[in-house]
Amino acid sequence: ENAVVIIDPMINPDGRDRYVYWYKSSQANVLNVNASDLEHDEIWPGGRTNHYWFDLNRDWTWLIHPESAGRIKVYQQWMPQVHIDFHEQG
């Protein structure tokens, strides 16, 4: 009743989908600690970049892309006392 909850479901769905596909296709049933194994060596363009090969998760400071600028605009409008970023943890 006295709380405002803002949900930002996903800022970069294409980068996330590419990473999840790679992750699921490269994992074995038993973890391999060898750093040269495929599960530790994602092919280019690695990570969670968007379709411009830009990692929106690293754009918080510069706000180059419209997705990041829009997110910060809402954040500054509401100035939340608590901000939780689950960041794909589960």
Domain assignments of the chain as residue spans, ordered by start: 15-48, 49-84
C-alpha–C-alpha distance, residues 82 and 6, integer Å:
11
For the question of whether the overall pTM of this predicted structure is more than 0.95, the answer is no
Query: What pLDDT, in 10s, does the model give residues 12-36?
Result: 777 778 778 887 887 777 777 888 7
Token couple for 34: 């060898």
